[in-house]
């Protein structure tokens, strides 16, 4: 009996003794991460994505800078370091400078036109309703929102091909409409074949593709503004236009900045649209852009060093553009404005 008692006691004691020191190890185990569970977790969760990302994204980016300093033609094992010679060639190359000029034109025009138009449409949808009672949007406006978003779901290449047919001089929709309206001078006018209209026609296509997306973005932004603010403005006597300019635009400023940067980056690329509408750069190279020239230099001419230099120029242009947008937004008081 006693021995049994003693035993049971000892078991008890052992158990309690085991419980007491085990409390700190729980704490300790957290700081000591070397369990198999944790190691495998980190290897797979971080290692796998990072490996793919570094091999297929980061390393090409880094290598491009290196290639841009060589005269490498890709298939020869030898590549000579020629310093900034490629860049000097680019900036004295008339065709590349023309392409850069076209890109700059796109960067200036596309974001402004797209954003202004989509802001106007978004404003019409959101504050077009009654001026009495609750603030609300235009009736039955969801139809417009759904339709506006259509182009965003269409592959850019399909948009380009479609509009290429619409602009077709003889069988196209545009000239068909214009001649049926009595404007016979457009009977077989080649919109994409005339150097005065090719760029404008191309810009229209890109704007067509993106207005709806930014309209939906701005509508969401405007709906995020509390209705009380609009009501207060109305009680203070602000009309619709004044409300849009003084309340809506400052409050969705961040969305506008985002849209501006996205649209500018797209304008610096623009490869798909240009390739679909005028693959050769258009009449007199009037729609040629840097990305087309890069593609041609690399994969047709095989001058990979030079093409990489173009890529670097494109990347730097993108960074400068984003920096400028941030700077302008800050200088014009983007930070000081009320944010919700």
Partner 1 sequence: MTTQTASREMKSLHFNARKPAMTPADKVVGAVSHTALTIWSLIVILPLLWTFMSSFKTSSEIFASPFALPSQWRFDNYVKAWTEAGIGSYFLNSVIVVGSALVIVMVLGAMCAYVLARYVFFGSKAIYYLMLAGLTFPIFLAMVPLFFIMRNIGLLNTLPGLTLVYVGFALPFTVFFLFSFFKSLPHEITEAAALDGAGEWRTFFQVMLPMAKPGLASVAIFNFLGLWNQFLIPVAINAAGPRVLSQGLAAFAGQMGYAVDFGALFAAVTVTVVPVLIVYVIFQRQLQGSVSQGTSK
Q: Look at residue 104 and give its three-state secondary structure.
A: helix
Does position 227 interact with partner 1 (CB under 8 A)? The reply is no
Does position 189 interact with partner 1 (CB under 8 A)? The reply is no
- Minimal distance, residue 1 CB to partner 1, in Å: 40
Q: For partner 1, give the closer residue by CB, 102 or 255.
A: 255
Does position 247 interact with partner 1 (CB under 8 A)? The reply is no
Q: Which stretch binds partner 1 (CB under 8 A): 1-9, 108-116, 134-142, 329-337?
A: 134-142
Does position 251 interact with partner 1 (CB under 8 A)? The reply is no
Does position 244 interact with partner 1 (CB under 8 A)? The reply is no
Q: For partner 1, give the closer residue by CB, 153 or 185.
A: 153
Task: Quote the Cα angle for 51-316-333, to 5°.
Answer: 105
Among 165, 196, 332, 339, binds partner 1 (CB under 8 A): 165
Distance CA 145, CA 171 (A): 31
Residues in 86-125 at the binding interface with partner 1, rule: CB under 8 A = 120-121, 124-125
Backbone angles phi, psi at 32, to 5 degrees: -100, 100
Does position 256 interact with partner 1 (CB under 8 A)? The reply is no
**Rounded alpha-carbon distances, angstroms, from residue 302 to 72, 176, 264, 293, 334:** 9, 43, 29, 12, 46
Among 23, 94, 143, 338, binds partner 1 (CB under 8 A): 143
Among 8, 11, 15, 38, binds partner 1 (CB under 8 A): 38
Q: Which two tokens stand for residue 237?
A: 């006597």
Distance CA 76, CA 175 (A): 50
Q: Look at residue 335 and give its three-state secondary structure.
A: coil
Does position 49 interact with partner 1 (CB under 8 A)? The reply is yes
- Minimal distance, residue 83 CB to partner 1, in Å: 19
Residues facing 81 on adjacent strands: 70
Among 11, 13, 40, 242, binds partner 1 (CB under 8 A): 40
Q: For partner 1, give the closer residue by CB, 14 or 49.
A: 49
Q: Which two tokens stand for residue 307?
A: 């093409």
Residues in 69-88 at the binding interface with partner 1, rule: CB under 8 A = 74
Does position 264 interact with partner 1 (CB under 8 A)? The reply is no
Q: Which stretch binds partner 1 (CB under 8 A): 16-24, 187-195, 208-216, 331-339?
A: 208-216
Distance CA 16, CA 251 (A): 63
Does position 201 interact with partner 1 (CB under 8 A)? The reply is no
Does position 304 interact with partner 1 (CB under 8 A)? The reply is yes
Longest dimension (CA), the chain: 119
Distance CA 316, CA 309 (A): 11
Please compute Rg for the chain using Cα positions.
Answer: 31
Give the DSSP letter string of 242-268. Answer: HHIIIIIHHHTHHHHHHHHHHHHHHHH
Among 208, 246, 320, 332, binds partner 1 (CB under 8 A): 208
């Amino acid at each position: 009996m006693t021995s049994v008692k003693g035993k049971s006691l000892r078991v008890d004691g052992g158990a309690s003794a085991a419980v007491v020191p085990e409390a700190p190890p729980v704490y300790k185990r957290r700081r000591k991460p070397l369990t198999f569970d944790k190691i495998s977790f980190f290897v797979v969760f971080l290692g796998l994505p990072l490996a793919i990302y570094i091999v297929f994204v980061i390393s090409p980016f880094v290598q491009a800078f290196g290639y841009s300093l060589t005269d490498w033609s890709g298939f020869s094992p030898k590549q000579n370091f020629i310093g900034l010679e490629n860049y000097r060639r680019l900036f004295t190359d008339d065709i590349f400078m023309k392409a850069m000029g076209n890109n700059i034109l796109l960067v200036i025009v596309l974001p402004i036109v797209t954003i202004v138009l989509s802001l106007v449409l978004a404003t019409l949808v959101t504050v077009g309703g009654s001026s009495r009672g609750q603030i609300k949007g235009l009736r039955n406006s969801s139809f417009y929102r759904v339709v506006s978003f259509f182009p965003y779901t269409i592959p850019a290449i399909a948009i380009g091909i479609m509009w290429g047919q619409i602009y077709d001089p003889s069988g196209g929709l545009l000239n068909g409409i214009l001649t049926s309206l009595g404007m016979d001078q457009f009977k077989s006018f080649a919109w994409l074949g005339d150097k005065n209209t090719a760029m404008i026609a191309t810009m229209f296509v890109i704007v067509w593709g993106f207005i709806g997306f930014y309209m939906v973005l701005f509508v969401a932004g405007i709906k995020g503004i509390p209705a009380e603010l609009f009501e207060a403005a109305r009680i203070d006597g602000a009309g619709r236009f004044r409300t849009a300019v003084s309340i809506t635009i400052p409050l969705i400023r961040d969305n506008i900045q985002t849209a501006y940067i996205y649209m500018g980056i797209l304008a610096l690329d623009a490869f798909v649209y240009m390739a679909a509408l005028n693959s050769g750069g258009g009449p007199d190279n009037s729609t040629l852009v840097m990305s087309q020239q890069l593609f041609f230099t690399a994969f047709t001419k095989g001058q990979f060093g030079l093409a990489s230099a173009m890529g670097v120029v494109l990347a730097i242009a993108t960074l400068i553009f984003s920096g400028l947008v941030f700077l302008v937004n800050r200088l014009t008081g983007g930070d000081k404005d009320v944010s919700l």
